[in-house]
Amino acid sequence: MEKTIEKLTGDTEGVSYEFPVFRFVGSDRAAPRAYLQAALHAGELPGTVAIDALMPKLAKAEAEGRIRGSLTVVPWANPIGRAQYQFGDHQGRFHSGTRTNFNRDFPLVDRPDPALIPESDLATVDEKLKARLLQLSLGHDIVLDLHCDDEGEPYLYVPAELWPAMSDCAAAMGVAGVLLWKGESGAAFEEASFHPHLKAGTATDKLVVTTVEYRGIADVYRVTAEGDAEGLYRLLVARGVIVDPAVPTPGPFKGVVAPLENVDMMPAPKAGAILYDVKPGDRVKKGDRLATIVHKPGEPDGHAEVIAPQDGFILTRRSHRITRAGDDLVKLLGASRSADARSGALED
């Protein structure tokens, strides 16, 4: 294993950031190559601890000569967001200097060639980070961007063009659901990783590109980290990056699969306190109550109900219990297109 340090010059004199990159060299140049990164949204740590649990498995495979395809691993991909606190509260989703989501506005290039990504000394530091992460990832056959939701079941965002070829990956990782997207997603990292293959016509059934959502932001536990690491390892074995005869071939994927257009986000009708009637993993019927918003406590007309518009599967819900009117509360995966179907990214 080789460890290098990536350094980013900040937007003012005397400020810089750095993050480590780990590389495992494969024995077969023809074997698939894999890139894994976590915590692009810097406070989303289930993927970071999953990589921490995965690293000893990779080291053992390397020592035993079982790594066929080269691996690049970035356990904490966002040193800028990692350092952002406001009044003691961590702020790792948006860059405070530009107000831009760290997982939006990545460069889009027409071929999977790192040399095509523009570099500029006048770019803001978050733009420099995005350019460098994409440079590190291009050229790999497997690109996994590890995130998490507020509270939720584990699930994947997968380009529709790569499904069902990626169903073995979903089965290997043991996720509960898969959301299929097509078109644009705000130039998120996943889109920027897939776009060059789509434009160049190199998107084959051997390509794996996905955003992995590991449950909720507070689900940072040793047991889930070990389980997620096992899932990542199974994927790497299934796709031929690592050789391990003890790992069985993934069976069929049995989770929920839905296009992005079938997701009902269920906005809050009023501002107030949220009383949930459902949790991630529940199945609901049309007309079921999902939550009640207590907007005028103690008054007869002070409750507003949130009702399921169709049968479906509760994938996620918000972790906070205070809401503004219009805030999205749950992701309901339905069998039909949502009346409020959204294109691009589901959330800011």
User: What's the CA gap between 54 and 231, in Å, rounded?
Assistant: 9
Q: Residue 346 — pLDDT band, cuts 50, 70, 90?
A: confident
Same domain, 38 and 106: yes
Distance between CA atoms of 71 and 37, rounded to whole angstroms?
11
Whether residues 39 and 186 share a domain: the answer is yes
pLDDT surpassing 80 at residue 12: yes
In a domain, 343, yes or no: no
- Asked if residue 342 is part of any domain, the answer here is no
Residue 140 belongs to some domain of the structure: yes
Residues 180, 159: Cα–Cα separation, whole Å: 6
Determine, yes or no, domain membership for 319.
Answer: yes
> Under a CB-based contact definition with an 8 Å cutoff, are residues 111 and 196 in contact?
yes
Range of the domain at 107: 2-254
pLDDT at residue 119 in the model:
82
How does pLDDT run across 315-327, given as a tens digit for each residue?
Answer: 999 999 999 999 9
Report yes or no on 165 lying in a domain. Answer: yes
Residue 77 has pLDDT above 80, yes or no: yes
Length of the chain as a residue count: 348
Residue 340 lies in a domain: no
Q: What is the rounded CA–CA span in Å between residue 250 and residue 237?
A: 10
Among the three residues 217, 233, 254, which one is the final residue of a domain in this structure? 254
Q: Distances from the Cα of 62 to the Cαs of 29, 132, 222, 243, 297, in angstroms?
A: 15, 26, 24, 10, 60
Residue 339 lies in a domain: no
Name which of 41-45, 49-53, 211-215, 343-347 the model is least confident about.
Answer: 343-347
220 and 307 together in one domain:
no
Pair (186, 53) in one structural domain: yes
Query: Which of 260, 174, 159, 284 is CA-nearest to residue 210?
Result: 159
Q: DSSP letters along 256-286, please?
A: EEEEGGGEE--B-SSSEEEEES--TT-EE-T
CATH of the domain at 311: 2.40.50.100
d(CA 214, CA 4) in angstroms, rounded, equals 27
Identify whether residues 248 and 176 lie together within a single domain: yes
On the question of pLDDT at 348 being above 90, the answer is no
